[in-house]
Chains A and B, each alone.
Chain A
Amino acid sequence: MSKRVAIIGIGTTGFRATTPDVSYRELTYEAAMKAYLDAGVEPKDIGSFVATSEDFLEGYSISDEYSPDQLGAVLRPIYTVPGDFIHSLASAYMMILSGVGPISVAQGLSKASNMLTLSEMVTFGMDPIYNRPLKESPHAVAGLEMARFLYETGTTREQCAKVVVKNRKNALNNPYAGHGVLVNPDYVLNSEVISYPLTQMDISPHSDGAVVVVLAEEEAAKALCDKPIWIRGIGWCSDTPGLETRNWAEAIYAQMAAEMAYKMAGIRYPRKEIDFAEINDEFSYKELQHLEAMRVCKKGEAGPLTEIGGTEITGEFPVNTSGGCLGVGNLYELNGGHKVFEVVQQLRGEAGKNQLKNVTTGLAQSWRGIPTTTGTVVILSN
């Protein structure tokens, strides 16, 4: 039996479309200050730090070198994961299990508004020899996947539009979210087509922000924290990345990451044993595809469940009470960070107007976005 590890502190700047008043370092500093205050720790108490960054998004060819100071990690054990925030959370968790120290920290950041050529940067993530010569938008990859998902599962564009309506509505009651709005499904369906069947409103707009999370092993967690949120399971997985070889029909990466986390948590029936989830919804259909991949719904059932309100805050399995990527914004490698933040808030009873009643177990899932096939999952309990 390995040590139990809990989240004892969380901090965020909140998430906004632009943050011209602060640098990326100041974003992380604010989130770190809040997380350390929340946990009742100082940087000197922390055994190791794990940062998250992607060079091209950050605008440095070695962005990881620039992560220590704003975290209080100068001359301390730190490294950077070029993946999703939940990858970093897994690393910080393993730091504790491997005895580096009883307390560790995971950090993630988005300063997407700094990137003046965001679309070209995402295109640069595609295969240079087989894909980039076509000079197509990376949104075409989402359009292709969405079309196959609708075909495979019988899901409708209307059901995808319902995801947008729900998440952007939830964001209105989340003070940290920057893209809350009340719209009806027709507005989503009739918004500008980007790559059919994908419309402008099916795509999450980008946001800036930072999240820092403090983890502690059981003894320290109980000493420092009244409401420790325990990590029960964590998983990550990558499918083959090529557009030529990947599984276009299903999000296998999400399925495998979830099964890894379920196994660790001893969960057999996720729909029954998990109360709510924050699911990656960078594109509307991804929420439905991920729910099905993770066995919350059977194939083709996530759309109908959404249609009858089953994933609303008042539904039987609330999904993205935070507003998700659609309502909070696409935070790129920080996407998993805002999901973990929301699940912790819900389990502590600090989710404000969107607070769920009597919840004990929540799941946060992320995906690294186009054109990746990488997923991460963490299961938390209070």
Chain B
Amino acid sequence: MALIERFQKTTDIGYWQGQIPLNYIYTVGRAGEKFFREIINGKIFGAKCEACNITYVPAKIFCEKCFARLEDKYLDVGTKGKVYTFTQCYETYEGIRKEKPSIVTVIQIDGTQGFLVHWLGEIDFEKVSIGMPVEAVFKAKKDREGSILDIKYFKPIK
């Protein structure tokens, strides 16, 4: 290395701090438009490729296996599924310790090959298991705005 003495902190020696705001909008697309308009109605929409016998959730306009167009193959897949995998996360997206951990799950929506990543609520972490049946809990209708957060969380089906 260039210097004999090794500094331990990146700020111990010459640097320039640079930052730039990066703000985007992300177009949800044709399938996303369908998915998020229906989520306002309390519904989850997928798309089925008949040839491959695969139902994607969320809806998409093409089959990634056979590349067929699925734009007229949207379907209501219901709001129930099973816990495919789960974790209890103690860290925020900024890498800071959370005051209260969240239960994050991958839910396989019943009758489909698709997953939704969302929180699990109304249960203690110790009681969660893979394969557990769950259903989506939506925000009050007036508060829905066409976002994945219109689902508050999934909860166990008693």
Interface residues of B in 65-95 (CB under 8 A from A): 84-95
A244 near B32 with CB under 8 A, answer: no
Is the Cβ of B1 less than 8 Å from the Cβ of A244? Answer: no
Asked whether A147 and B114 contact (CB < 8 A) given A20-B10, A113-B10, the answer is no
Residues of A within 8 A of B149 (CB): 133-134
B10 / chain A contacts, CB cutoff of 8 Å: 18, 20, 113-114
Give the docked Cα–Cα distance between A337 and B18 (Å).
Answer: 28
Query: Given A59-B18, A134-B149, 7 more contacts at CB 8 Å?
Result: A130-B116, A134-B104, A134-B119, A139-B91, A192-B90, A193-B90, A196-B125
- Whether, in the assembled complex, A22 has its beta carbon less than 8 Å from a beta carbon of chain B, the answer is yes
A140 to B88, CA, bound (A): 8
B38 smallest CB distance to A (angstroms): 14
- The reply to whether the CB of B3 lies closer than 8 angstroms to some CB of chain A is yes
A166 CB → nearest B CB, Å: 24
Q: In the complex, what distance in Å separates the CA atom of A33 from the CA atom of B113?
A: 51
Q: Sorted from nearest, which 9 A-B pairs have the closest CB atoms?
A: A119-B95, A143-B87, A148-B85, A137-B91, A140-B89, A123-B93, A195-B89, A21-B3, A196-B88
- Could you say which of B7, B93, B117, B147 contacts A119, with CB atoms under 8 Å apart? B93
Partner of A128, one of B7, B26, B57: B26
B91/A133 in contact, CB under 8 A: no
Chain A window 254-294, contacts with chain B (Cβ cutoff 8 Å), 1 for yes, 0 for no: 00000000000000000000000000000000000000000
Contacts of A118 in B (CB 8 A): 95
Which residue of the partner chain, among A116, A130, A135, A144, contacts B58 with CB atoms under 8 Å? Answer: A130
Q: Please give the distance in Å from A238's CB to the nearest CB on chain B.
A: 12
Quick check: is A13 within 8 A (CB to CB) of the other chain? Answer: yes
Task: Scan residues 104-136 of chain A and give those whose CB is less than 8 A from a CB of chain B.
Answer: 113-114, 116-120, 123, 128-136
Q: A240: which of B64, B91, B92, B130 is its contact (CB, 8 Å)? A: B64
B58 touches A136 (CB 8 A): no
Which residues does chain A contribute within 8 Å of B9, judged by CB atoms? Answer: 18, 20
Which range contains the number of B residues in contact with the other chain?
35 or more
Identify 20 residue pairs between A and B in the complex whose beta-carbon atoms are under 8 Å apart, listed by A's number.
A13-B1, A18-B9, A20-B7, A21-B6, A116-B17, A119-B94, A131-B148, A133-B148, A137-B91, A137-B95, A140-B87, A144-B104, A147-B130, A148-B85, A148-B106, A195-B91, A196-B88, A240-B64, A243-B106, A248-B85
Q: Which residues of A sit under 8 angstroms from B113, Cβ to Cβ? A: 245
A198 within 8 A of B: yes
Pick the contact of A134: B15, B91, B94, B117 (CB < 8 A): B117
**B105 (CB) vs chain A CBs: closest residue:** A144
Q: Which B residues form the contact surface with A (CB < 8 A)?
A: 1-3, 5-13, 15, 17-18, 24, 26, 28, 32, 56-58, 64, 84-95, 102, 104-106, 113-119, 125, 130, 147-149
Give, as a whole number of angstroms, the nearest-CB distance from A216 to chain B: 29
List of B residues within 8 angstroms of A187 by Cβ: none
Contacting pair A135 B93 (CB below 8 A): yes
Are A137 and B93 in contact (CB-based, < 8 A)?
A: yes
Nearest to A18 among chain B residues (CB) is B10
* Chain A residues whose CB sits within 8 angstroms of the CB of B116 once the complex forms: 130, 244
In the complex formed, the residue of B with least CB distance to A118 is: B95
Residues on the B chain within 8 Å of A196, using CB: 87-90, 125
Interface residue from A19, A131, A135 paired with B117 (Cβ < 8 Å)? A131
Q: In the complex, A40→B89 CA distance in Å?
A: 51
Whole-angstrom distance between the alpha carbons of A118 and B140 in the complex? 36
Q: Say whether A145 faces chain B, with CB atoms less than 8 Å apart.
A: yes
Contacts of A114 in B (CB 8 A): 10
- Looking across the interface, which residue of chain B has its beta carbon closest to that of A13? B1
